[in-house]
Amino acid sequence: MDATVAFFYDLIPALSNLPDWLSYTIIGAVLTVGAFLFIAVFALIGIWLERKISGHMQDRLGPMEVGGWHGWAQTIADTVKLLVKEDIIPEKADKFLFKFAPFIMFTASMAAFAALPWSARFIPANLNVGLLYILSVSSLVVIGILMGGWASNNKWSLYGAMRSAAQMISYEIPVALSLIVALLLTGSMDMQEIVRGQAGGIFNWNIFGYFPLLFIAFIIYFIASLAEVNRTPFDLPEAESELVAGFMTEYSGMRWAFFMLAEYANMFVVSAISTTVFLGGWQPIAPFLDFIPGPFWFLGKALFLVLIQMWLRWTLPRLRVDQLMYTTWKVLTPFSFALILLVSFIKVL
Amino acid sequence: MKEYFRNIYQAIATILIGMGVTLRHLFTRAVTIQYPHVKRELPSRSRQKLFVNMDDCIGCLQCARACPVDCITIENIKAGKDEDLGVTSNGQKKRMHVIKFDIDMAKCCYCADCVFPCPTECITMTPDYEFATYDRGDLLVHFSQYSAEEAEALRERDRKEKAALAAAKEAKLKAAAQAAEKKDKKDN
């Protein structure tokens, strides 16, 4: 927190005259609101982009009417619709858990934003175990999903939630293992330290370390993170065509919107993690491009990965449950173990 | 073991091929059109909304008889002896006041069976397909050029004429009957 507080004191000197507890609270509140606004705007743009991309990949145009230019206001209109929609809670549902599940899921995905390094100076919370914090916080998402599925009192929702739990628990292992491969290289869990270790152009990024070993680790992380955020081809928990949106079936209006927000926030978080760990975070592609500020590079790389996620979604069909388990336990996990062994062996040599 | 690695290789290769396909389609032109703004021209013989050119209609009822779903209702009043209603574009004399020519497009099955028997080719299918309404009753299209008052006046005239005819006929019958009675009496 100290670096952030110093950053804000630099920005607004008047803050340093206030008592510590007040200035800390103000900074925290501003950061929280900022993160929420970022997620909301990102989800608005992301959903619109996803619909446009899916449309064009199927030789359609996607939304074209609302707002004039290529339907840019479509998601805004949808949000207004969701805000005024009736909030339906099934009679036999567990009311407390039902109401609470979307917020737990959203909180878990938003908490991860606390440790994302946006530029050399700006990181909301500079933890020395930042990566570990993000990994542990983002696994809370599964609790929200399980709560929603269980409280809905609907067998299909419960199916979706159980699938999601099984999937997330299995895929967290390759996620963590492939990140360990990169950590062997940087030797730190501090997000800023990881990024700083990749200075000096594209070929110093971790993705090209011990080529192609770290590249394979990056691919493993990318695949596993897709499963972590329930994106196609790993969208079995939602499975519109068989489970009718799984754990979200009984939700409507703003509660449903919060699930959607959390999904898009998660998409960004996993992309931001791979950006930080493998693609050099806020480091520019080449050292002479230093004058472009860090957030541009960070956002650009993360959005590029989000685009690839969308591209994959409209390319691949959904996996079967047994294929899902095969992929993680028999392919991704052994490969990442082999990578850890190889990289540590090379490092010792 | 070989099988295992071949599986992985094939998975990666096919995913890349699939991504190539979707990337290519991302940049191809959309095949859909923006319907209300852009419309596809329909062929002139396409069978959509019915249209009747009342200037040519002679009220022969052939279309109404041909209709399999009875969606055409026609009411005619004979023209008077001294009335001239003009001729149709193909030279037929018009002998009827067509005071009612209603087509219920809600019932129409677009078979075009009414189009072929028409002797003056005045009933046709048009390519106009945008006639959705908020009320089913609004799909009842009135083609007759006679206003309600004119139609009612013509009906009244017809009723009077018919009544006069009937009265004349009755009077004639009565006269005949009386004549026959007289004859009978005479004979007896």
- Chain B residue with CA closest to A330: the answer is B4
Residue A180 CA neighbour count, 13 Å, CB half: 17
pLDDT score, position A1: 54
Asked whether the predicted pLDDT for residue A265 surpasses 70, the reply is: yes
Reported as half-sphere exposure (CB side, CA atoms, 13 A), residue B81 has a value of 1
In a domain? residue B163: no
Interface membership of B1 toward A (CB under 8 Å) = no
Instruction: Say which amino acid occupies A175.
Output: V
Min distance B35 CA to chain A CA atoms (Å): 11
From the list A59, A60, A316, the residue facing B15 with the nearest CB is A316
Per the domain annotation, does B123 fall within a domain? yes
Asked whether the beta carbons of residue B23 and residue A60 sit closer than 8 angstroms, the reply is no
What are the Cα distances from residue A181, in Å, to A73, A91, A171, A213, A315?
42, 49, 16, 9, 29
Q: Does some domain include residue B55?
A: yes
Domain contains B67: yes
Paired strand residues for A244: none
**CB contact (8 A) between residue B19 and residue A312:** yes
Which of A121-130, A254-263, A267-276, B34-43 shows the lowest per-residue confidence on average (mean pLDDT)? A121-130
- Does B102 fall in a domain? yes
Picking from A84, A112, A127, the residue at the C-terminal end of a domain is A84
- Residues across chain B: 188
Q: Between these two residues, B127 and A18, which has the higher pLDDT value? A: B127
Domain assignment present for residue A150? The answer is yes
pLDDT at B13: 92
Count of CB atoms situated within 10 Å of the CB of B32: 14
Question: With contacts defined as CB-CB under 8 Å, which chain B residues touch A57?
Answer: 22, 25-26
Measured distance CA(A46)–CA(A51) in Å, rounded: 9
Q: Decide if B25 and A56 are in contact by the 8 Å CB cutoff.
A: yes
**A202 and A76 co-located in one domain:** no
Q: Which residues contact B55 (CB under 8 A, 6 or more apart)?
A: B88, B89, B122
Please say if the pLDDT value at position A176 is more than 80: yes
**B38 touching A (Cβ < 8 Å):** no
Domain match, A314 and A215 both: yes
What mean pLDDT value characterizes chain A? 84
C-beta of residue A172 within 8 angstroms of C-beta of residue A139: yes
Domain identity same for A100 and A53: no
Instruction: Verify that A161 and A265 share a domain, yes or no.
Output: yes
Cβ contact B50:B126 at 8 Å: yes
State which of A57, A84, A111 marks the end of a domain. Answer: A84
pLDDT tens track, chain B, 188 positions: 889 899 889 988 999 999 999 999 888 888 888 888 888 888 888 888 888 888 888 888 888 889 999 888 988 888 877 777 788 888 888 888 888 888 898 888 988 888 999 888 888 888 888 888 899 888 888 888 888 888 888 888 888 888 988 999 988 898 888 888 888 887 76
Q: List CB contacts (< 8 A) between B19 and chain A.
A: 311-312, 315
Question: Measured between beta carbons, which residues in chain B are less than 8 angstroms from residue A56?
Answer: 25-27, 30
pLDDT at B91: 80
Inter-chain Cβ pairs, chain A and chain B, closer than 8 A: 38
The pLDDT, as a whole number, for residue B28 is: 86
Segment A297-306 mean pLDDT:
90
Work out the minimum CA distance from B132 to partner chain A, whole angstroms.
21
Whether B37 is in a domain gets the answer no
Q: Quick one: A213 and A311 in the same domain?
A: yes
Q: How many domains does chain A have?
A: 2
* Owning domain of residue B132: 50-147
How would residue A246 be classed by pLDDT, with cut points 50, 70 and 90? Answer: confident
Q: Does A215 share its domain with A182?
A: yes
Is the model more confident about A309 or about A242? A309
Q: What is the pLDDT confidence band of residue A164, given thresholds at 50, 70 and 90? A: confident
Dihedral, A220, A224, A226, A230 alpha carbons, nearest 10: 170
pLDDT on residue A101: 87
Q: What is the dihedral of CA A21, A27, A31, A37, to 10 degrees?
A: 110
| Strand boundaries in B38-155, DSSP class E | 50-52, 72-78, 96-104, 123-125, 140-142
Q: Is the pLDDT of residue A239 over 70?
A: no
B30 touches chain A (CB under 8 A): yes
**A61 to B32: CB separation less than 8 angstroms, yes or no:** yes
Q: Are residues A1 and A100 in the same domain?
A: no
- On whether residue A79 sits in a domain, the answer given is yes
Residue A200 backbone zone (phi > 0: left; psi -120 to 50: alpha; other: beta) = left
Taking alpha carbons only, the member of A67, A191, A71, A56 closest to residue A128 is A191
The pLDDT score that the predictor gives to residue A110 is 87
**What is the average per-residue pLDDT within A27-50?**
88
Does the pLDDT value for residue A170 go beyond 70?
yes
In a domain? residue B114: yes
Q: CB neighbours of B64 closer than 8 A, spacing ≥ 6?
A: B70, B72, B73, B74, B114
Q: Note whether A265 and A165 are same-domain residues.
A: yes
ipTM: 0.78
Count of structural domains, chain B: 1
Model pTM above 0.90: no
Partner A contacted by B28 (CB < 8 A)? yes
| Strand residue runs (E) in chain B | 50-52, 72-78, 96-104, 123-125, 140-142
Give the structural domain span for A21: 1-84
CA distance A63 to A73: 9
* Residue in B8, B15, B30 closest to A59 by CB: B30
Which residues, including other chains, have CB under 8 Å from residue A130's CB and lie 6 or more apart?
Answer: A115, A117, A123, A189, A190, A191, A192
Q: Is residue B11 part of a domain?
A: no
Residues A117 and A43 in one domain: no
Q: Are residues A110 and A184 in the same domain?
A: yes
Q: Please name the residue ranges forming H helices in A58-140.
A: 74-84, 95-111, 130-138
- Side-chain half-sphere exposure of B59, counting CA atoms within 13 A: 19
* In a domain? residue A214: yes
Q: How far is A310 from chain B (nearest CA, A)?
A: 11
pLDDT of residue B17: 93
Task: Give the pLDDT band (50/70/90) at residue A71.
Answer: confident
Taking CA–CA distances from A327, the nearest residue in chain B reads B8
Q: What is the pLDDT of residue A193?
A: 83
- Together in a domain, A215 and A246: yes
Rounded to 5°, angle at Cα A53 from A144 and B16: 90
How high is the pLDDT of residue B161? Answer: 86
Each residue of B138-185: pLDDT tens digit?
Answer: 888 888 888 888 888 888 888 888 898 899 998 889 888 888 888 888
A57 shares contact with chain B (CB less than 8 Å): yes
Q: Which of A84, A107, A136 is the last residue of a domain?
A: A84
- pLDDT of A160 reads 82
Q: What is the pLDDT of residues A181-217, one digit of tens each?
A: 888 888 888 888 888 888 777 777 878 777 788 888 8
Report CA Rg, chain A: 21
Instruction: Let me know: does A237 contact A247? Beta carbons within 8 Å.
Output: yes
- For residues A284 and A167, membership in a common domain is answered with yes
Task: Return the residue of A nearest to B26 by Cα.
Answer: A57
CA distance A41 to chain B (A): 24
Q: Quote the CA–CA distance of A129 and A191 in Å, as a whole number.
A: 8
Kindly report the length of chain A.
349
- Candidates B18, B28, B34; nearest CB to A316: B18
d(CA B107, CA B164): 39
Looking up tokens 């992929």 gives A327
Which amino acid is it at A152? S
Q: Which domain CATH number covers B67?
A: 3.30.70.3270
Measured distance CA(A205)–CA(A280) in Å, rounded: 5
Average pLDDT over residues A121-127: 79
Q: A9 at the B interface (CB within 8 A)? A: no
